[in-house]
Structure 1
Amino acid sequence: MGVHHHAHHEGHDLVVAARHALERAGQQWTGMRQSVFEALSAFDRPASAYDIAEEVSRRQGRRVAANSVYRILDLFVGANLVRRVESANAYVANEHPDCLHDCIFLVCDSCGQTTHIDDDSVASNLRGAAARTGFAPERPVIEVHGRCSDCAES
């Protein structure tokens, strides 16, 4: 299978794709959910629920609790709109919420930039290794820490 290529949504198209994915999952796209998704997708690196709550609060001119944002993020992760970077306890918008793949994150330890890639052969090998031990993986997340190309050059 190898690396999977598809169109990545961004800006307004990403919000529309996320809304359709959430509605296909049987959930409503509310104003607050849209605000959380738009705030998250505006970050250029993984954002914590507190970062997102602060940004939504700033945009709306009223305080939004991080607990509310956590609940929405959990819903988004379950519906494939958002990916969770486990080691950073942070989130990134899924640029292709219409495709379901196991996550591979390349995390730069210098600048924090996180790149999400899909490589079905790596994920397939991981699932196979787990299955051989009798383990049934539900949502593998692979995180590779190192230095991004920008930091490696400096």
Structure 2
Amino acid sequence: MAHTAHVHGQHYSRADLAAAARNRLVSVGEQWTPLRSTVFQALADFDRPVSAYDVTDAVSAASGRRIAANSVYRILDLFVANNVASRVESANAFIANAHPDCPHDCIFLVCDRCGRATHVDDDRITGDVRSAAMAAGFTPVRPVIEVRGICANCA
């Protein structure tokens, strides 16, 4: 996947973000089922990366019945594979993608105190990482770049 400098839309309202996520899944031939919608809404309601179990608990509370964690895991994996959500690897957590209609490599700044992750787009850096991998004879699929530290609010 070639990644170049780009401008993307930021979906600020909850409804706009959910519509963008739905449109993204539908555009790749996936269905936007009621459970997928509920999982996405639960994920988008968090202001920090969360575990699949956190999402499962939120979906279970919203639906009034216990939802199986493995169902939520499958949906989150589908979301990540289709750019609807991102996985913060170092925290084993997920976060809704604020612009699912824009494929790119993400850089996350993860605060070790509050747990929030700031998403940074810098195609130059991620392009350099991809180029370095290819120069070493490696085919990059999904670079993961995360910086752990302390955010400005916690400093």
Shorter chain as denominator, the TM-score bin is over 0.9
Q: Distance in 2 between matches of 1:3 and 1:48?
A: 31
Map of 1:60 onto structure 2: 63
Q: CA RMSD in A?
A: 1.4
Structure 1 vs Structure 2: percent identity of aligned residues? 59
C-alpha distance after superposition, 1:111-132 (max 9, x if no partner): 1110111100000110111111
Alignment of 1:74 onto 2:80: no
Q: 5+ unaligned residues in a row in structure 1: which ranges? A: none
Alignment length, in residue pairs?
Answer: 152
Q: Distance in 1 between matches of 2:128 and 2:118?
A: 21
Alignment of 1:126 onto 2:132: no
Q: Distance in 2 between matches of 1:95 and 1:3?
A: 17
Alignment of 1:27 onto 2:27: no
Q: Distance in 2 between matches of 1:148 and 1:126?
A: 24
Q: Which amino acid aligns with 1:45?
A: R
Q: 5+ unaligned residues in a row in structure 2: which ranges? A: none
Q: Distance in 1 between matches of 2:94 and 2:145?
A: 14
Confirm or deny: 8 A CA contact 1:4 1:119 kept in the other structure. Answer: no
Match among 18, 23, 32 for residue 21 of structure 2: 18
Identify which range, 41-50 or 5-14, moves more after superposition: 5-14
C-alpha distance after superposition, 1:86-106 (max 9, x if no partner): 011110000100101111000
